[in-house]
Structure 1
Amino acid sequence: METLADLAHVQPDAISHAPESEPLQNYMRNAASVIAVLTEFSDLDIERAVTWFRHAPLTELGGATAEQYVSQGRTAAVHAYALNLIAGATG
């Protein structure tokens, strides 16, 4: 829960006491949208998509993970990167 709170830029108690908070909901919505792109347009199942999202360094964007970039508000860049990766244009 602490990691999620850090990524969403909320206090840890917000996860259980204020799950409707805008920063938490925005982070969750954006994270889910990236994972949805991966499962919809590639051959990744949900588990592999989540693993990629959390652990794969996105070298062309600077080396952080998709999870970290979404936390920084760079969801559009991650969407574009993922679609390029799926199309074979990067990676």
Structure 2
Amino acid sequence: MERKTYERFVEDLKRSATAAGKPIIDPKLFARALSMDLQALAADAHVHRVTLSRAQGTEKLQGFLRDALQVLRVATDINGDFRHALFWFRNEPISTFDYLTPEQLVSEGRTQDLVRYLQSLKAGAAG
């Protein structure tokens, strides 16, 4: 099995967007990479599941996907492994945030809080 990197993941998303002729993140491709069912993705993005196939460009959905990509980028930069970042995003509760997972925090609109937290960890590790 080919090792997936963040860069390769984004390249796959770009290729899909180019093929579709729309500069949007494909929610199905995103969900597949995170081993996430579409109903869960719709719930995280606070949209109806039909939105994932019929209105993929809605700001609410695309905003969630962009925020999730941002967090995955930062997490990958910190630990160097995209697959670990994917697992962390979906599964690991963070005590600082009342034991919510990064996925839950992004769903709640707390992306910037999470990014600042991750950057502080990175700065601490570097200092």
How does the TM-score come out when normalised to structure 2?
A: 0.65
**Matches of residues 1-91 of structure 1 in structure 2 within 5 Å?**
1-40=38-77, 42-88=78-124
Distance (Å, rounded) in 1 between the aligned partners of 2:120 and 2:70: 16
- The residue identity in structure 2 corresponding to 1:2 is Q
Structure possessing the higher radius of gyration over alpha carbons: 2
Structure 2 spans left out of the alignment, 5+ residues: 1-37
Q: Which has the higher contact order (CA 8 A, sep 6+)?
A: 1
Report the number of matched residues. Answer: 88
| Coordinate RMSD, CA, aligned | 1.3
Q: Which residue of 1 aligns with 2:31?
A: none
Alpha-carbon distance change, 30 to 43 in structure 1, aligned in 2, over 3 angstroms: same
TM-score (norm 1): 0.89
Structure 1: 5+ residue runs without aligned partners?
none
Q: After the TM superposition, which of the residue ranges 43-52 and 80-89 deviates more from structure 2?
A: 80-89
Q: Percent identity over the alignment?
A: 39
